Amino acid sequence: MTTDGPWKFSQSIPSDTSIGSGLVSQLLEAMMERDWPPADLFRTQLAYEEAIVNAIRHGNRCDLDKKVLVEMTCGDEEVWIQITDEGKGFDPQSIPDPRQDDLLEVPGGRGCLLIHEIMSSVTYNETGNQITMVKIKGDSPPMDDDDDE
């Protein structure tokens, strides 16, 4: 399928998870127009959902007076997503690995781990209030039967 260059999107939204979650449908449509595999669609949506919820809940503490900037680009071979909140930020290195035996029952940290596992690259700004995620087309392990629900 032929497209006229990369699809680009940028919007500042209030700290409302329903608004934030709704934006991913436009990205998925752009990915489908560029023949991205279903596994990449699924994983990109999952990573986006985790990141937007983290920005709204943990970054902006659901403060409707604070905004979240969502920027996305979709090309034929790469998706780029950047989410910036108005929170104080955090140190990504300070998140304990939730796979450690003593942390298996403790909530928290799983979203960041999931994002790192399913995206091609993940970086944070120095403040820790901005995440940049990149997905390379086809950079996904085969989907398990549990993934296609």
- 50: domain CATH number is 3.30.565.10
Let me know the angle formed at the C-alpha of 80 by 17 and 9, rounded to the nearest 5 degrees. 60
Q: Could you tell me the residue range of the domain that residue 67 belongs to?
A: 7-143
With respect to residue 149, please indicate whether it lies within any of the assigned structural domains: no
pLDDT band at 101 (very low <50, low <70, confident <90, very high): low
Q: How many CB atoms lie within 10 A of CB 138?
A: 11
Q: CA 6: distance to chain centroid?
A: 19
Q: Is 82 left (phi over 0), alpha (psi -120 to 50) or beta?
A: beta
With respect to residue 42, please indicate whether it lies within any of the assigned structural domains: yes
With respect to residue 117, please indicate whether it lies within any of the assigned structural domains: yes
With respect to residue 41, please indicate whether it lies within any of the assigned structural domains: yes
pLDDT tens for 27-86 read 999 999 999 999 999 999 999 999 999 999 999 999 999 999 999 999 999 999 999 999
Q: Residue 18 and residue 89: Cα distance in Å, rounded?
A: 22
pLDDT of residue 38: 96
pLDDT of residue 149: 42
Contacts (Cβ under 8 Å, ≥6 apart) of 81? 27, 44, 47, 48, 51, 70, 71, 72, 132, 133, 134, 135
Average pLDDT value for the chain: 87
For residue 3, report the phi and psi dihedrals to the nearest 5 degrees: -125, 160
Question: DSSP character for 94?
Answer: G
More confident residue, 77 or 110: 77
Amino acid at 18: S
Q: Is the pLDDT of residue 148 over 50?
A: no
Q: Is the pLDDT of residue 103 over 80?
A: no
pLDDT of residue 91: 85
With respect to residue 2, please indicate whether it lies within any of the assigned structural domains: no
Q: Is the pLDDT of residue 147 over 50?
A: no
Percent above pLDDT 70 for the chain = 82
Could you give the number of structural domains in the chain?
A: 1
Q: Where are the alpha helices (DSSP H) in 34-124?
A: 38-53, 110-118
Q: Is the pLDDT of residue 131 over 70?
A: yes
Write down the pTM of the prediction: 0.86
Contacts (Cβ under 8 Å, ≥6 apart) of 69? 10, 11, 12, 82, 83, 84, 85
With respect to residue 108, please indicate whether it lies within any of the assigned structural domains: yes
